Amino acid sequence: MVQLDVEGTLAELTLAEKIALTAGTDFWHTASVPRLKIPALRTSDGPNGVRGTRFFNGIPSACLPCATALGATWDVDLLEELGHLLGEEAKAKGAHVLLAPTINTQRSPLGGRGFESFSEDGVLSGALAGHYCKGVQAEGIAATLKHYVCNDQEHERMAVNSIVTQRALREIYLLPFQQALRICQTACVMTAYNKVNGTHASENSALIEDILRREWGWKGLAMSDWFGTYSTSEAINAGLDLEMPGPTRWRGEILAHAVSSNKVAEHILDERVRNVLELVNWTDRSGIPEHAEEKKLDRPQDRALLRRAAAESAVLLKNDDQILPFDKTKPIAVIGPNSRLAAYCGGGSAALASYYAVTPIEGIRSESQADVHFSQGVYGHKQLPELGPRMKTPDGKASGFLFKVYNEPPGHPSRKAVDELHLVSSSGFLADYKNPKIESPTFYADMEGTYTAEEDGTYEFGVSVAGTGQLFIDEELVVDNTKNQHRGSAFFGSGTVEVKGTKHLKAGTTYKVLFQFGSAATSHLNPRGVVAFGPGGFRFGGCKVLREEESIAAAVDLASKTEQVVIFAGLSGEWETEGYDRDHMGLPPGSDRLISHVLKANPNTVVVIQSGTPVTMPWVNETKALLQAWYGGNEGGNGIADVLYGNVNPSGKLPLSFPVHLRDNPSYLNFRSERGRVLYGEDVYVGYRFYEKTRIQPLFSFGHGLSYTNFSLSALRVAVSPEKHHIQAGEDIKVSLVVSNTGPVAGAETVQLWVIPPTSSSINRPVRELKGFKKVFLKVGEWREVDIVVNKGVATSFWDETRNSWVSEKGDYELLITGTGRQDLRFPFQVAKTRWWSGL
């Protein structure tokens, strides 16, 4: 790759070439113009790992803990370090542009992609995102802030009109983008699917041109979300540089006609192309050649970093009687549906094939020096567990199965395989699967292998497809999903609900498994309103039918006989995923019953919950020790074990408020699309701002998190810069205080700085708002002076809808400094005069 003379190149481009450069050519690549040495750029999902160019049978990658887990670290240095790792992973995958981070705001616990964003608070989210992007871009990889803006639900996400006041838009939803750009000027921004106050984000000039480019001074490339472009002239004129993915739907000949008819002025098109060429130059520093081979890293130092991130993200919510940490020399009972499940990431575009994934029980076993006993209790899956990883190829030599592709349907006399792959996962999204020997969109695949039953009993098998599918066990048709199909949530909403069947299997017996799949073109579902994701997808799974009463009784019996007991429960990428929102805040069926019964048998049982967003906990008052462990990435199980056994002192703090009931959350009456719109009726009172204003007690508060040690805050000193006529950089509040570790073990404290507005404020304001934070690690007995600096004007402002600007209003304010304990520090200060301002 070479540095382009942007203006010279722009002058040499033909109209057709300019138009081609404003859209992708396939799912992941931009267009090239070889005669002018303009290369194609490769994009790849994020946000918690770099997938590469393939959803189907892709090259494995490092998987970070999910974004809410990283939000719980409150550690900007760690986020920057992880950004460097993502940059290096992007280079291994040949990706010039990382489609991350996601920094939308979790209005509701039900949001399907809530786990993809850092926090309900814009200061925390923006600061973490900014440092994440600094790390990524230091490696020459373009980071992409997304989804700009108000893409906070999945229901009708491409059509819903997000109706939001200008004040809430600025103070809540745009704030993380604004904060992140203060720290790192990202090379790219991705627009949201939804409308904002009546106009789709991808054709909203007020958002792209007025705020992002003119007011904030951002200079970069604005791209659409995938299939999130809905017009030609409107999107180009509004500032959308790049339509993704390709081939184009809205540019090409349509855009050429728009230019020739003066619906799009040629200088506007030139500006879109100029931003594409500038991105080509920007990414040249990565050294990644065009169409690079995709490779793996999986280095020891990366494993160590991911393990540290998983451990630092865990939030100790309760620890009465100091039950934790566990004693490694004592036996332990491990119970529950997530024990042997590697819930390492959420679902959708955040999901990827990881190099490996450590389950909680594997983490426990690696650290325990005594016996580890297990009891299932209940299942936690939504769809039956994938069968593929428990199968063997027909020759019995490898895990998984053979995947053979045909142009002809089963039973055709001259049927001949045109492709053969060895797969392990029995869930395949074929959006990017291609083979030159496939003659049409209608093709077929046979998946063959064997399965050996571990126990006698009735086994249940399930099939979900974007297409058609039949599952045979020893030539007996057990599941038929070829007719009477009903739409489900699989494959971004293009697949069926899971169809199930049963068969009695004998322990130790090996059975022949055959799954016959027909591509999306064979589906009986009505495709109307669904984005076409290529040839479709398949998923087949199965497991022994569990007799829940007996299984819970066995778990209770084990817990009653064991001193140290831990239950692993929660959600997974099946329950929290792109494409749909959760129906409720509860755990999977049976989990609450299991936890309550085990707690009655052994009140010292530790409960570990894995989820990306809050869940209800009806048993919370019965448990003495509770750990929120999120989706922990490759090293999730090891990170959890490190905290449970005290290798790592937990330091995570909640980046989200956990309500007692769903009805308590501020968006309860205003979530999901109703006749094409969603009203952001809670206005600026999102998350903790709502709970504190209404005095509704959450289950666990934003910023809450315990430690195995104790900290004290003291010696507060505050220096407030004199006010100028206009708010400017350097007009700061400088806070210094001493943080001491007064407890028995080393640990990390997070100091949180809040601003309390004046009682004389001209409008209603939150009780307090987070404006800064700092995390510090301290050995036993160690103390350290911690400094936090915030801009006085920024820290005291709200959005004035009358003046259409930020306003720092005169009055008596107060700084509030909090930490892990209940010892708060306060400092009053004044804003002498009211001032209005705009910009970053």
Mean pLDDT (10-residue bins), the chain, 840 residues: 90 98 96 97 95 91 98 98 98 98 98 97 98 98 98 95 98 98 98 98 98 98 97 98 96 97 98 98 96 96 98 98 98 98 91 94 98 97 95 95 97 95 95 92 97 95 97 98 91 90 97 97 76 84 95 98 98 93 96 98 98 98 98 98 98 98 97 96 98 98 98 96 80 96 98 98 98 98 97 96 97 97 91 95
- What is the Cα–Cα distance from 566 to 325, expressed in whole angstroms? 11
pLDDT at 1: 56
pLDDT at 75: 98
Beta pairing class for 510-518 and 444-452? antiparallel
- What is the Cα–Cα distance from 771 to 790, expressed in whole angstroms? 7
Q: At what angle do helices 266-283 and 252-260 cross, to 10 degrees?
A: 140
- What is the Cα–Cα distance from 382 to 363, expressed in whole angstroms? 24
- Catalytic site positions: 225
Classify the phi-psi angles of 364: left when phi > 0, otherwise alpha if psi is within -120 to 50, otherwise beta: alpha
- What is the Cα–Cα distance from 358 to 179, expressed in whole angstroms? 34
- What is the Cα–Cα distance from 317 to 320, expressed in whole angstroms? 10
pLDDT at 532: 59
pLDDT at 761: 97
Classify the phi-psi angles of 646: left when phi > 0, otherwise alpha if psi is within -120 to 50, otherwise beta: left
Q: Which CATH entry fits the domain spanning 711-837: 2.40.50.140, 1.20.140.90, 2.60.40.10, 1.10.10.10?
A: 2.60.40.10
Q: Does residue 657 contact residue 702 with C-beta atoms inside 8 Å?
A: yes
- What is the Cα–Cα distance from 92 to 682, expressed in whole angstroms? 44
pLDDT at 530: 45
- What is the Cα–Cα distance from 455 to 543, expressed in whole angstroms? 10
- What is the Cα–Cα distance from 191 to 806, expressed in whole angstroms? 24
SS3 162: strand
Q: What is the CATH number of domain 382-544?
A: 2.60.120.260
pLDDT at 808: 97
Residues 290, 295, 301, 302, CA torsion sign: positive
pLDDT at 729: 74
- The chain-wide mean pLDDT, for the chain, equals 96
Question: Which residues, in sequence order, are CB contacts of 163 under 8 Å at separation 6+?
Answer: 197, 677, 678, 679, 680
AA letter at 124: L
The domain ranges of the chain are 382-544, 711-837
pLDDT at 529: 53
pLDDT at 527: 67
| Residue 162 vs residues 118, 156, 173, 197, 680: alpha-carbon distances, Å | 21, 11, 11, 6, 7
